[in-house]
């Protein structure tokens, strides 16, 4: 089960990278869309760190 959680964690990073690339590509074309994509990438990065911390807490609790 922990391997699945790790895959989901890195999935958030992959999604963030895709959103950052899309932000760069859309910056001069549609600025409002670029800001939304940038916001989504920040949320995805936040979710990565949140899920990583949450998983480590559960692993520590299960070791006791």
**pLDDT tens readout for residues 20-42:** 999 999 999 999 999 999 999 99
11 pLDDT band (50/70/90 cuts)?
A: very high
pLDDT cut 70: percent of the chain above it: 97
Nearest CA to 48 out of 2, 1, 3, 6 is that of: 6
Give the residue-averaged pLDDT of 9-15.
95
Tell me what percent of the residues of the chain surpass a pLDDT of 90. Answer: 70
pLDDT value at position 23?
Answer: 97
Orientation angle between helical segments 31-63 and 2-26, nearest 10 degrees: 170
Q: What is the CA radius of gyration of the chain?
A: 15
Question: What is the predicted pLDDT for the residue at 10?
Answer: 93
Sign of the C-alpha dihedral computed for residues 6, 9, 13 and 19 taken in this order: positive
- Secondary structure E strands in the chain: none
């Amino acid at each position: 089960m922990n391997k699945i959680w790790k895959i989901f964690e890195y999935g958030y990073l992959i999604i963030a990278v895709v959103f950052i690339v899309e932000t760069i590509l859309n910056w001069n074309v549609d600025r409002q869309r670029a800001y939304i994509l940038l916001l989504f990438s920040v949320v995805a990065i936040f979710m990565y760190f949140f899920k990583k911390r949450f998983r480590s807490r559960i692993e520590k609790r299960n070791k006791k």
